[in-house]
Structure 1
C-alpha cells in the first residue's frame, strides 16, 4: 500500500484543497481519492485529506426531486413518534420524543 505525502499547515502546494475548501469553491472531489494529507494541531494532532483541484468536479445542483427528498427527511426528524406532532425543531435523540411528551413520560 502506497503512502500519500503529508504536509504541515500552510505548507501544502497550490492546487490542493480540503473538502471544506472545495465546497466553498463550488466543487466536490468527484470520486477521486485524496492525494495528500494535511497535519495540524488543534487540541491534539489532526489530519485532513487534500484533493487535487484539477480532478474536482462542480457540485450537483439541487433539483426539485432532491428538495422534496430533503424536506421529507427533515419532516421525519421533526415528527414526534409519541404524539405525531410536527415540531419546528428536530426531536432530541436523547429523549426520543418531543420535550412535552418526555415531561409527561410518554414513549414511542
Structure 2
C-alpha cells in the first residue's frame, strides 16, 4: 500500500524469519554513506567476532541480549542502544529465545559520502 507520494510503509516486526541458530540480516535502506539493517537473532547467536570498517549504532527492539564490546559486557533490554565505533571488536554473547531478539542497526561509513 502506498500513499500519493509512492511511499510504501513497512514493519520491522513483519515477516520475521524462523531461525534455529545464528542471525538473519536484512538491509532496509541504503543512502549515501548510511545503511540500515534489521537483524533477527536466534537463541543461539553466531559467535563471530566483528571488527567492522564502519561505525555502527545498534538498538534492541525486542528480546534481551548480551553483547561483548572491546572487553566490556553490555546487557540490553528493549529500547537499549549503543554506538560501536569502527574497528571496535564486538560479538553477540547471548540472546533470548522468547521473544526472539530484533535489532535495528545503522552502519555509517566515514570513508564515503
For normalisation by structure 2, the TM-score amounts to 0.20
**Which structure shows the bigger proportion of residues in helix conformation?**
1
**Which structure shows the bigger proportion of residues in strand conformation?**
2
Which has the higher relative contact order, 1 or 2, with Cα contacts under 8 A spaced 6 or more apart?
2
State the structure with more CA Rg: 1
